[in-house]
């Protein structure tokens, strides 16, 4: 499958043979998988591929298989957010991104595993069991889009979509040695994305290389009147695929190299920055003093929004239901049985933060800190083109290592949540290894300047071979 993990290669093979053959091969690979990355395979995929063949391969992604995170609505294909409370739910409509992918000729392979309702950093809170990291089956793939990253790394899909609320695309991209992009807030329509925290999350692509990220963005990004947060801004992301960083100025925030960073992760990132210097870029240190408050601010805001969003899951309209003598008993029993422990924890904490007497003390103060974090990015990016830092402070940890220690798990997000608070774009690209596990380089840009970080990531890729490394079973 490795030769087929690039969109250009796939399109050439389709031209020489058929989209049906490509789709069948990926479905066969999924059937042999050991990583539990897919939770469902679309039974219409072969039929759709056959139709694409008969129509002459129309569209920029004609015949290209793609995996979809299980919190993105797909008409006729179950969408459960990896939660028992939504088991059996089949959406009657497609998300905006799914509409665009289908119009471009892509073939939806199926839905990928995730942390329940996107709440987690390890894909261990799924009701379908954990996804395994293809580099080491004893380790987590990251989360919450762990399934979407793992299936790309394992060669079970060439590209995938995830969602990123506080690092949920970039974390698993770093842990699994693939490329993951969190676009600017408002860049991609959230219509059809089942919400965890509305003001923070964005849909983002994962792939084995930066060029494929740009190709997917060309299709899925853009304005949608059904999403009030969608920005009407035209852009061609593939225009940024240029190997040229001469004159680029890189900002390196000291705060992202603080306590807890693994020495091999730090070395890999600094080696990457040195490579940019060899390519003609320069770097300077920058300060982002409110970074130390970002994690606390993020979790208060995210959990508060989650407590509101998840109130709709009560057994009345869709999904799992436990009968009771009245609505209150039914809703209580349904949620007690349907939600996992991590979802319950976050809903409870969010409800507390919004409660009378505590709203100003916690939620309002978190919003004020969010403004300060955003101002840090505005100031830091005023005099540099991009920022660079480690995506994650350490490589992927063992399955079960942190699941019983929520605080330790939350601290893993320290380098990724500030970008969601500020709404700025960022991309993770492979830049080395720590203890045999992949390390991600985090490249952060100005609002709606995805092209700058895509160009930087693409240039780095063209001058290194980290992105060509694959897990032993895939190579």
Q: Which two tokens mark 302?
A: 């995210």
d(CA 442, CA 416): 9
Give 398's DSSP letter: B
Cβ atoms of 56 and 118 within 8 Å: the answer is no
> Which pLDDT score is estimated for 474?
61
The whole-number average pLDDT for the span 28-49 is 97
> Which pLDDT score is estimated for 233?
93
Query: Residue 473 — very low, low, confident or very high, per pLDDT cuts 50/70/90?
Result: low
Is residue 69 flagged as an active site residue? yes
d(CA 187, CA 441): 22
- What pairing do the DSSP bridges indicate for beta strands 437-444 and 426-434? antiparallel
> Which pLDDT score is estimated for 5?
76
Active-site residue, from 82, 125, 126, 144: 144
Is residue 199 flagged as an active site residue? no
Task: Convert 358-390 to b/e letters by CB count within 10 Å (16 or more is b).
Answer: eeeebbebbeebbebbbebbeebbeebbbbbbb
Site of tokens 């960073």:
261
Q: What mean pLDDT is reported for the chain?
A: 95
> Which pLDDT score is estimated for 22?
95
Is residue 275 flagged as an active site residue? no
Backbone angles phi, psi at 256, to 5 degrees: -90, 5
> Which pLDDT score is estimated for 1?
46
pTM: 0.96
> Which pLDDT score is estimated for 97?
98
The whole-number average pLDDT for the span 138-167 is 97
Query: Residue 187 — very low, low, confident or very high, per pLDDT cuts 50/70/90?
Result: very high
Q: Per-residue pLDDT tens for 324-364?
A: 999 999 999 999 999 999 999 999 999 999 998 889 999 99
The whole-number average pLDDT for the span 315-332 is 90
Beta carbons within 8 Å of 329's beta carbon, 6+ residues apart: none
Backbone angles phi, psi at 208, to 5 degrees: -85, -10
Beta carbons within 8 Å of 32's beta carbon, 6+ residues apart: none
Active-site residue, from 11, 69, 402, 455: 69
> Which pLDDT score is estimated for 258?
86
Active-site residue, from 168, 184, 230, 459: 168
Structural domains for the chain = 2-251+382-468 (3.90.1300.10)
Site of tokens 């991104």:
97
Q: Per-residue pLDDT tens for 103-148?
A: 999 999 999 999 999 999 999 999 999 999 999 999 999 999 999 9
Q: Which two tokens mark 205?
A: 């692509």
Q: Per-residue pLDDT tens for 228-281?
A: 999 999 999 999 999 999 999 999 999 999 888 999 999 999 999 999 999 999
CA 475 distance to own-chain centroid? 24
């Amino acid at each position: 499958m490795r030769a087929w993990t690039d969109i250009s290669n796939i399109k050439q093979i389709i031209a020489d043979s058929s989209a049906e053959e490509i789709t069948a091969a990926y479905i066969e690979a999924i059937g042999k998988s050991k990583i539990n990355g897919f939770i469902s395979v679309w039974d219409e995929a072969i039929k759709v591929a056959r139709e694409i063949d008969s129509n002459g391969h129309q569209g920029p992604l004609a015949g290209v298989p793609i995996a979809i995170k299980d919190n993105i609505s797909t008409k006729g294909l179950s969408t459960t957010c990896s939660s028992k409370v939504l088991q059996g739910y089949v959406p009657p409509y497609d998300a905006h991104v799914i509409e665009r992918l289908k119009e471009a000729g892509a073939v939806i392979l199926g839905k990928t595993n995730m942390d329940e309702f996107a709440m987690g950093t390890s894909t261990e809170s799924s009701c379908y069991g954990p996804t395994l990291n293809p580099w080491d089956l004893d380790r987590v793939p990251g989360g919450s889009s762990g399934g979407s990253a793992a299936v790309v790394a394992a060669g079970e899909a060439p590209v995938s979509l995830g969602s990123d609320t506080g690092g949920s695309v970039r974390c698993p991209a770093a842990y699994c040695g693939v490329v993951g992009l969190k676009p600017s807030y408002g860049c991609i329509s959230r219509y059809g994305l089942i919400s965890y925290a509305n003001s923070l999350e964005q849909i983002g692509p994962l792939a084995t290389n930066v060029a494929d990220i740009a190709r997917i963005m060309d299709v899925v990004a853009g304005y949608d009147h059904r999403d009030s947060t969608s920005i009407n801004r035209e852009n061609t992301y593939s225009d940024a695929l240029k190997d040229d960083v001469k004159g680029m100025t890189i900002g390196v925030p000291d705060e992202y190299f603080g306590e807890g960073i693994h020495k091999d992760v730090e070395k890999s990132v600094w080696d990457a920055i040195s490579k940019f210097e060899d390519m003609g870029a320069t770097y300077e240190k920058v300060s982002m003093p409110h970074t130390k408050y970002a994690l606390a601010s993020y979790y208060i805001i995210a959990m508060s929004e989650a407590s509101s969003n998840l109130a709709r899951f009560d057994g009345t309209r869709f999904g799992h239901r436990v009968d009771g003598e009245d609505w209150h008993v039914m809703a209580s029993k349904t949620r007690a049985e349907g939600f996992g422990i991590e979802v319950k924890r976050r809903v409870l904490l969010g409800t507390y933060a919004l409660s009378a007497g505590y709203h100003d003390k916690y939620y309002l103060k978190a919003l004020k800190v969010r403004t300060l974090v955003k101002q840090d990015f505005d100031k830091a990016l005023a005099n540099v083109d991009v920022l660079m830092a480690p995506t994650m402070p350490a490589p992927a940890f063992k399955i079960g290592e942190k699941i019983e220690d929520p605080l330790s798990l939350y601290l893993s997000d320290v380098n990724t949540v500030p970008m969601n608070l500020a709404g700025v774009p960022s991309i993770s690209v492979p830049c080395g290894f720590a203890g045999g596990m992949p390390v991600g380089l985090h490249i952060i840009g100005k609002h709606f300047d995805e092209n700058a970080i895509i160009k930087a990531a693409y240039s780095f890729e063209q001058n290194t071979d980290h992105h060509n490394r694959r897990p032993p079973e895939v190579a």
